[in-house]
Amino acid sequence: MKIVENGNSVELHYKGTFPNGEVFDDSRSRGETMNIEVGEGLLLKAFESALLGMSEGETKTIKLTADEAYGQPIAEAVVTAPRSAFPDGFPFTEGMPVQGQGPNGEPVRAKIVSFTDTDVTLDHNHPLAGKDINFEIELVEIKNSNSFSDYTVKELRAFAKEKGIKGFSTMKKSDLVETLSS
């Protein structure tokens, strides 16, 4: 039986809920699975950790505190911008999500907190900051098993050298596999 390890590409369904059961996200309702490489750090750390050791078809529920999820809201993330930064005729609405570009052209998302004739107050905190959340995760498929145990010692040492791991040249295969998998 295959189990999820760091480096595996996996396909999964998930449903995100608040402690009261209200759903805030559901991959099934969109009709699409999430495909992710475990260990890339693109998911919440606790979500990614929950995937490790799961097998195909397994379902798991995790409960995350706000600190384990998106953290607490940061007061400095609420800023005031000139209304002129928005296009003419923009339909300002409190609570409306907006997207723009940061100083380096990167996408920036925020929520309109309030606005006046001259200014707009924007909250750049993640919409789920400060909230406890739950996820039900169903592992649909482990698409590839990049298990380092399938490689020779010579290949493992080459990987370790590439990653800058010290002392790799004297490690046993089991030590190399453990080091590269973490």
What is the per-residue pLDDT across 69-113, written as a single tens digit (0 to 9) for each? 999 999 999 999 999 999 999 999 999 999 988 888 889 999 999
Q: Which CATH number fits domain 1-72+128-146: 2.60.40.10, 3.10.50.40, 3.30.1280.10, 3.40.50.2300?
A: 3.10.50.40
CATH classification number, 75-123, choose in 1.20.1560.10, 1.20.80.30, 2.40.10.330, 3.40.50.720: 2.40.10.330
pLDDT at residue 32 greater than cutoff 70? yes
Q: Give the ranges where 65-181 is alpha helix by DSSP (H).
A: 153-163, 173-181
Beta bridge partners of residue 97, listed in sequence order: 111
Question: Which 3 state secondary structure label does DSSP give 60?
Answer: strand
d(CA 31, CA 57): 17
pLDDT-based confidence at residue 149 (cuts at 50, 70, 90): low
Q: Which residues contact 88 (CB under 8 A, 6 or more apart)?
A: none
Place of tokens 């339909």: 91
